[in-house]
Amino acid sequence: MTEKTLLISFSLLIIVLAAMNFNEKWNNKNYEKLKDKKHTWYWFKVFKVSEKKENLFKLYKGLSIFVIIIQTITIIFLLT
């Protein structure tokens, strides 16, 4: 297995994991685990955003879209 193939496989794995954040059931499980942790709400306090479940899900989805775009660009770069 070449280094390029390994990097592309790793990028695809990251895309799959990021896509899981669009699943409501997955988000609810993560929320139940992390809702009482102080670090979960840190950036909400910094930017003065209300600490609600819906806002956390929006953050998950926004970060997931960002990660998927970056990994897609990485795969395109590796294939050229």
Decide if 71 contacts 13 (C-beta within 8 A). no
Place of tokens 């895309």: 15
Over 90: is that where the pLDDT of 30 sits?
Answer: no
Domain ranges of the chain: 14-79
pLDDT digits (tens, 9 = 90+) for 55-78: 999 998 999 999 999 999 999 999
With cut-offs at 50, 70 and 90, classify the pLDDT of residue 1. Answer: low
Q: Is 80 a residue whose pLDDT tops 90?
A: no
Structure tokens at 14: 């990251």
